[in-house]
Chains A and B, each alone.
Chain A
Amino acid sequence: MFHLAIKDMRFSKVKYGLIAFILFLIASLVLIVSGLASGLSAQNIAMLTESEATSFFVRSDSENQLDQSGFLIEDLIEEIPTEQGWQPLVTHPVRFIHDGYVNEKLGVTMVPVNADTLLYPGTIEGEDLINSSGLNIVVDQTMKSDGVELNDTLYDEETDLTFTVIGFTENQTYRHTPVVYVTEEAFYAEEISPNRVANGLVVFEDNTTLQDDISNFLDEGEWVDKAEVIDAVPGHSSEQMSLNMMIFFLIVISAFVLAAFFYIITIQKLKQFGILKAIGAKNTFLVGTTLMQVVILAVFSLSLSVLFTYSMTFILPEGMPFDFNLITIMIYSLLMFAVSLLGALLSSRRIVKVDPQQAMGGTE
């Protein structure tokens, strides 16, 4: 079966090569779009997905959007100290001027943290916030593609403050901007915010007593899961939905293109199948050979497109939100493989229906 399939394909190189190429192109598009989808998604919500927080306390009328939610927490901190297991989460948008490039402002999300808590992710490079005081910041490494290096200074026009980059962290982006961590002390000492505020409160393990105490104290809010907060991040659902829609249609298209091609090739070979059946070949052998060809084509094209997509990670500019996620790639590859086989089954019906008697009588 395998040898016959290979010999046929080797003989009709152009025909099968074209199909393989089309499958390769569509599969690459699927994988690249999926890489883009997870890259964009990461840019939008990585800070939340990577966060250790399990539940968020947000305003009831905020539709779970952190940016629409806000509390004054001065009294709360006195009543229920954060040592009991909660932390205020502030997402403060800032537009930095980097090294005097006045026209190119860098949008970031500033998050003041107590560096001893789980809210702070730590650094992968440079110094840690824990040992620092003053206007020092740890920024997400995506800022490197904007030219930001260690010990660079970033100036905020609005507050007239200059911050020094002392370290880099990773996977910390929120709403398509890098997250910038600063100590709470610096944040409030410099009166970036006049009062102690929080967009939301987080806990790192579910604690019913604590959570009930907080909701009783701040009665305009409610506790929601991390997943609900992620879904509510503006743009996230619509972005992902439109990209996933594209992927879905591409997969359907590849199924139909392959099915059509194989159907045509099968029809061209009906006479051969009739002869082979007359000689004594079984349906299982003939269908098996055809499916084998689809398997060979699909494995070949999909492997190539995985390699191609992987090489894209080196070609694409650094700032491009592209994420080569092996698990997603495998899932989509398997899906496309299954769909290709399904498409080829259409041709199998034609093969089974071929009457070997047509081999007799030649053109009669």
Chain B
Amino acid sequence: MTLPLEVKKLSKRFKDGENYIDILKDISFSLNQGEFVAIVGPSGSGKSTLLSIIGALLTSDDGDVLINGHAVSKLSEKGRSDLRLSQMGFIFQSAELLPYLHAFDQLDLVAKLHQVDKTERKKRAKELLSDVGLGSRIKHYPHQLSGGEKQRVAIARAFMNDPALILADEPTASLDEERSHEIVSLIKQEVKAKNKAAIMVTHDESMLSYCDRVFRMKNHTLIEDN
């Protein structure tokens, strides 16, 4: 069976003046379907860089990432873009919705980019929005929604193209504690319900209880909690 995510001996260096600094060294792990994992670490430890490489936004220097069996390093820029559209759902730090689209259109747009036909788009968007508890607010614009509601729309958007992998980059950074627990448990609920693999980068230890496995960034490499 193809795993939704395989990371193989991944390394990344950045040039700093005349020297190279290792950001990521020899990182390997893989995820199964329905698995929700967290990556924690102090800021600057490279967890966002790792998420960018897994998300095909940045290329690695060594090693490779396989998304649902597709080797990212072999893809062109356009190929990576297509991969992101079809196989990955992104949840950003602060929802990052387009200010001029209401909730339904936010979801509709990503499916349209993926050339999903209209009736299917409509069906999926309505289902997803009611899954995240916004069934009655589908025509609301971002400025009419609270921070937690915006993040719910973003979660629904991430699932819109039925991706293999969900990548959440500090999804609770701009929310209060109560809201944070709601959002993370909602991500977990959706990941389990739709049997997807998901990675959440966070520095909030209280969110780790929702995750199946926890990785810590230490000395540029990833160590799994037991």
Query: Interface residues, chain A, CB within 8 Å of chain B?
Result: 4, 7-8, 10-12, 271-272, 275-282, 285, 356-357, 359-364
From 70 to 128 in chain B, residues with beta carbon under 8 angstroms from any chain A beta carbon are 78, 81-86, 88, 90, 92-94, 96, 98-101, 105, 109-110, 113-114
Nearest CB to that of A271 among chain B residues?
A: B96
Contact between chains at B92 and A280 (CB < 8 Å): no
**Total of A-B residue pairs, C-beta within 8 Å:** 76
How far is B53's CA from A361's CA once the two chains are assembled, in angstroms? 12
Contact between chains at B55 and A279 (CB < 8 Å): no
Contacting residues, chain A, for B88 (C-beta < 8 A)? 280
Contacting residues, chain A, for B99 (C-beta < 8 A)? 11
Q: A280 and B96 in contact (CB under 8 A), knowing A7-B101, A359-B57, A360-B169?
A: no
B211 interface hit (Cβ, 8 Å): no
Cβ proximity bits B32-54 to A, threshold 8 Å, 1 near / 0 not: 00000000000100001001100
5 smallest beta-carbon distances between A and B, as pairs: A280-B85, A11-B100, A362-B93, A361-B48, A280-B84
B62 interface hit (Cβ, 8 Å): no
Contacting residues, chain A, for B109 (C-beta < 8 A)? 4
Nearest CB to that of A274 among chain B residues?
A: B96
Query: Interface residues, chain B, CB within 8 Å of chain A?
Result: 43, 48, 51-52, 55, 57-58, 78, 81-86, 88, 90, 92-94, 96, 98-101, 105, 109-110, 113-114, 141, 157, 169-170, 173
**Max chain B CB contacts within 10 Å: which of A282, A360, A361?**
A360
Contact between chains at A362 and B86 (CB < 8 Å): no
Contact between chains at B110 and A362 (CB < 8 Å): no
Contacting residues, chain B, for A277 (C-beta < 8 A)? 81
Q: A360 and B51 in contact (CB under 8 A), knowing A4-B109, A285-B113?
A: yes
Contacting residues, chain B, for A12 (C-beta < 8 A)? 100
Q: A280 and B82 in contact (CB under 8 A), knowing A8-B100, A359-B57, A360-B55?
A: yes
Q: A272 and B81 in contact (CB under 8 A), knowing A7-B105, A278-B55, A362-B170?
A: no
Interface of A is mostly: helix
How far is B101's CA from A276's CA once the two chains are assembled, in angstroms? 13
> Quick one: which of A7, A360, A363, A364 contacts B100, CB cutoff 8 A?
A7
Nearest CB to that of B85 among chain A residues?
A: A280
Shortest distance between the CB of A202 and any CB in chain B (Å): 66
Contacting residues, chain A, for B173 (C-beta < 8 A)? 362
Contact between chains at A359 and B100 (CB < 8 Å): no
How far is B141's CA from A12's CA once the two chains are assembled, in angstroms? 13
Contacting residues, chain B, for A356 (C-beta < 8 A)? 57, 84
How far is B58's CA from A275's CA once the two chains are assembled, in angstroms? 14
Contact between chains at B78 and A359 (CB < 8 Å): no
Contact between chains at B86 and A280 (CB < 8 Å): yes
- 27 examples of A-B residue contacts, CB within 8 angstroms: A4-B101, A7-B105, A8-B98, A8-B100, A10-B100, A11-B99, A11-B100, A12-B100, A272-B96, A275-B98, A278-B92, A279-B84, A279-B90, A279-B110, A280-B84, A280-B86, A280-B88, A280-B110, A281-B81, A282-B81, A359-B90, A359-B92, A359-B96, A361-B169, A362-B92, A362-B94, A364-B48
Shortest distance between the CB of A338 and any CB in chain B (Å): 28
Nearest CB to that of A362 among chain B residues?
A: B93
Nearest CB to that of B89 among chain A residues?
A: A279
Contact between chains at A278 and B90 (CB < 8 Å): yes
> Quick one: which of A8, A279, A357, A364 contacts B113, CB cutoff 8 A?
A279
Contacting residues, chain A, for B52 (C-beta < 8 A)? 357, 360-361
Contacting residues, chain B, for A357 (C-beta < 8 A)? 52, 57-58
Shortest distance between the CB of B16 and any CB in chain A (Å): 17
Contact between chains at B92 and A275 (CB < 8 Å): yes
> Quick one: which of B48, B57, B114 contacts A278, CB cutoff 8 A?
B57
Contacting residues, chain A, for B101 (C-beta < 8 A)? 4, 7
Shortest distance between the CB of B96 and any CB in chain A (Å): 5
Contacting residues, chain A, for B58 (C-beta < 8 A)? 357
How far is B90's CA from A356's CA once the two chains are assembled, in angstroms? 12
Contacting residues, chain A, for B92 (C-beta < 8 A)? 275, 278, 359-360, 362
How far is B86's CA from A8's CA once the two chains are assembled, in angstroms? 25
How far is B86's CA from A277's CA once the two chains are assembled, in angstroms? 13
Contacting residues, chain A, for B55 (C-beta < 8 A)? 278, 360
Contacting residues, chain A, for B84 (C-beta < 8 A)? 278-280, 356
Contacting residues, chain A, for B94 (C-beta < 8 A)? 362
Shortest distance between the CB of B166 and any CB in chain A (Å): 13
Q: A362 and B169 in contact (CB under 8 A), knowing A272-B98, A278-B55, A279-B110?
A: yes
Nearest CB to that of A275 among chain B residues?
A: B96
Q: A280 and B57 in contact (CB under 8 A), knowing A11-B99, A360-B52?
A: no
How far is B93's CA from A110's CA once the two chains are assembled, in angstroms? 83
**Max chain B CB contacts within 10 Å: which of A12, A279, A356?**
A279
Nearest CB to that of B92 among chain A residues?
A: A359
How far is B142's CA from A272's CA once the two chains are assembled, in angstroms? 14
**Max chain B CB contacts within 10 Å: which of A7, A272, A278?**
A278
How far is B82's CA from A285's CA once the two chains are assembled, in angstroms? 13
How far is B43's CA from A359's CA once the two chains are assembled, in angstroms? 16
Shortest distance between the CB of B3 and any CB in chain A (Å): 21
Nearest CB to that of A358 among chain B residues?
A: B57
